Amino acid sequence: MKYADYQRQDAAENVKNAYADAQRLQKALNAVVTFVDVEAQLEHLRDVDENAPLYGIPIVLKDNVSTKGIRTTASSRILDNYVPVYDATIVKKLREAGAICIAKASMDELGMGGTNLNAYTGKVNNPYDLERISGGSSGGSAVLVAAGVVPMAIGTDTGDSVRKPAAYCGVVGVKPTYGRISRYGIIPYASSLDHVGYFNTNVNDAAKTLEVLAGRDDLDMTSSSAHIPAFSEQLNSDLHGKRIAVLGNVQDAIQDTRIKEQFTAMIKKLESRGAIVETVYLKKELMEALLPTYYIISNAEAVANHSNLDGIRFGIREAGDNLEEIMIHSRTKGFSSAVRKRFVIGSYSLFVENQEKLLKKAHRVRRVIVDAYRELFASHDAVLAVAAPTTAPYPNESVDEQLSASYLIAENHMLLGNFSGFPSMSVPSGLIDGLPIAINVSAKAFDEQTMFNVAKAIEEESGMVGNCVEVKA
Amino acid sequence: MEQFDDAYFRKLANQIMFDLSEEEIRELKEEFTTLLEQLDLLNRIDTEGVEEMIYPFETPTHYLRKDVSDHVISKEEALRNVASVKEGHVAVPKVVK
C-alpha cells in the first residue's frame, strides 16, 4: 500500500491494523525485535496537523534507532536490556510528521552483516519464500514493508544494508547522500560510511519520505545544510536527453543470464523513453578492491565505535571479580562470533605498525576509487546496474560471513555509494521464479531528484508500483 | 609477515576486551588468509601522492559551538541503564586493593 491509500482511511484503524498484522506475521517472518505501544502515540497525534506529511502512517524503525523509553538492542545481546533516554533526531522528525512507530525491526548485529542471519533474535525470513534470507543488515525493516505491514520503514546503509535487502524483498530502498539525514541517535557501525536510509513500496512515497527526514542537525556535525528540494512535487519520469551510464563491470560479472537479460530489456525501454544510454567501465582493479577496502575501513571504525559497549554503564553486565573481567565476560558473551572476529580484523588494522599498509592504504584507495566514480558523473546524470546478482539466496548459499573472493564485483558494487556518499537506491524491476530482482540507480551528490526520476521511469516500466506480497502466516 | 598462531589471535582479542574460542580462532585464521590475499588487490593500485580520504565530502559541516551546557541528561537518566548502582554511582568491584 501507498501513503495515499492509508491517508484515505482512519489513522487509528490503520495503526492498529498494522500492529495486528505485524504480530500475526511475527512467527512467519521473525522481523520484529520489540513491539511498540501505539496508544500514547495515537494520543499525541491529536496535537499534530492532519495535513502533516505522514499523518497517521504506521512505520517501523530499525533497532539501531534510539527511541526514548523503548528498548533498542541493535540486535545484539550486549544491548538486550538497553533503553535509551533520548530520541534520535529522525524519531522526532517522524513524530512531528505524524508517523506512528509500531515496532523496532531486526537487523544484523550492530549493522555488521548483509544477510540478517546474525541477529540475536535469529534469522529474518523473506516474505516471498520463508526459507530464504531477507538480506541485511536492515532485513526486518525491508520484510515488514514487503509484506504490506507498513508503507515505510527506516533502515541504515553502511555497505548496501538498505539497497540489498530492498532488492531481495521487492521494495524500494533509498540511501540518500551522506549527510542528507541526521544520524544523531543512531547506534553506529562505521561513521565514515553510515547513512540513514529507508524502504517504501513506491518511488513517489520514497520522494516524500526524504522530504520529511532530510535536513541539517547541529547534533550531527556531519549533517549537511544543502537545500532540500520538493522531491515528490518535482518527480518527473521523462527521460528525454537524460544521460545514463550502465556499469559494465557489474553486468559482465553477473552469472545468472535471466537477470542480465531482464536488465538489458529494461535499459532498452529506458532508451525508447529518450534516455541516452552508454555502457561504462571503471578499472577492474578498482572494482575488485571495493570489498577489501570496505572491510579494512568499516571494521576499524566499528571496533573503535563499539569500545563503549562494556556492560559497565549500560547493556548486559556479566559477573567478574574485577573491572577487567566484567568487561571481558560482558563483551565475550555480548557479541556474536561474527562481530568479535570483525573487531579483531579492525583492531589489527589500527595497530600503529599496520596503519600505513592497511588503514592508510585503504583510505588512499578509497579516494582513487571515488575520484574514478565521480568522473563517470561528469558526463552522465545517473549510473545504473543490477542491484543484486541473484535473487534472495537460502542461508547456506549466502557468502556474507566469509571474506569470499567470489563475486567481488557483482555482490559489492553498491559500496561505491558509501565510499563516495553519492545517493543510491534499489527499485524493483521484476520477478524471476516468483522472487524479486531490482535495479540500482545512483546519481551525483545531493541530486536525489535525478535518482528518483530515473527510478520512477523504471517503476512505470516494471509496473511494480506499490509492490507487496501476501504472506501466509 | 607475522606469525598468526593461536596465541597471537587470543592476544589481539584480549586487547579489545573479549575472548575467542578455539573454533573462532580457527575460523579467524582462515579469514585472515583470505584477507591478506585480498590486500594484494589493494596493493595493485598506485596510491603514490594520493591523500587519504576519511569522509565522503571535504566541505566543512562542523563548527565550534558556544561553551554553554546543552542537551544535558539528569543523573537518574544517566544511571537508568547501569546494572549496579550504589549511592548514585556506577558500582564495580574494588579497583584498588
pLDDT in tens, A360-409: 999 999 999 999 999 999 999 999 999 999 999 999 886 654 444 447 89
Q: Which of A344, A351, A359, A371 to mutate to test the interface with B (most CBs of B within 10 A)?
A: A344
What is the number of structural domains in chain B?
A: 1
Report pLDDT for B1. 47
How close does chain A come to B17, measured CA to CA in Å?
A: 5
Task: Let me know if residue B11 belongs to a domain.
Answer: yes
Per CB-CB distance under 8 Å, the chain B contacts of A335 are 18
Q: Is B72 within 8 Å of chain A by CB?
A: no
C-alpha cell read off for A243: 544521460
Q: Where residue A28 sits, what CATH number does that domain have?
A: 3.90.1300.10
A270, part of any domain: no
Please compute, for residue A201, the number of CA atoms within 13 A of its CA located in the half-sphere on the CB side.
23
- What is the pLDDT, as a whole number, of residue B2? 62
Question: Is A376 among the domain residues?
Answer: no
Span A114-121, average pLDDT? 97
- In a domain? residue A177: yes
Task: Name the residue range of residue B11's domain.
Answer: 6-43
Cβ density class A123-161: b for 16+ within 10 Å, e for less: bbbbbbeeebbbbbbbbbbbbbbbbbbbbbbbbbbbbbb
| Residue B89 lies inside a defined structural domain of this protein | no
Closest CA to A149 of A17, A11, A3, A9: A17
Distance CA B26, CA B28 (A): 5
Residue A364 distance to chain B (closest CA, Å): 4
Residue A368, in any domain of the structure:
no
| Beta carbons of A125 and A446 less than 8 angstroms apart | no
| Tens digit of pLDDT at every position of chain B (97 positions) | 467 899 999 999 999 999 999 999 999 998 888 888 888 899 999 999 999 999 999 888 888 989 999 889 999 999 999 999 999 999 999 888 7
What is the number of alpha carbons within 13 Å of residue A87 lying toward its C-beta? 10
Residues 6+ apart with CB under 8 A from A280: A245, A246, A247, A248, A376, A380, A383
pTM: 0.97
- Is the Cα torsion angle A57, A63, A67, A68 positive or negative in sign? positive
A 10 A CB-CB count for A47 gives 7
Quick check: is B20 in a domain? yes
Give the orientation angle of helix B22-43 with respect to helix A337-350, to 10 degrees.
50
- Tell me the shortest Cα–Cα distance from B68 to chain A, in angstroms: 14
Mean pLDDT, rounded, for A223-247: 98
- Alpha carbon of A227 to those of A42, A223, A231, A450, B55: distances in Å? 32, 12, 11, 15, 20
Domain encompassing residue A187: 3-238+458-462
- Of A138, A234, A226, nearest in space to A182 by CA: A226
ipTM (interface pTM) = 0.95
Each residue of A182-201: pLDDT tens digit?
Answer: 999 999 999 999 999 999 99
Q: Tell me if B52 is assigned to some domain.
A: no
Q: Alpha-carbon distance A79 to A111, whole Å?
A: 13
Q: Looking at the 3D structure of chain A, how many domains does it have?
A: 1
Interface contact flag, A402 B34, Cβ < 8 Å? yes
Residue A298 domain-assigned? no
Q: Residue B57: inside a domain, yes or no?
A: no
Residue B51 in domain: no
Mean predicted lDDT score pLDDT of chain B: 92
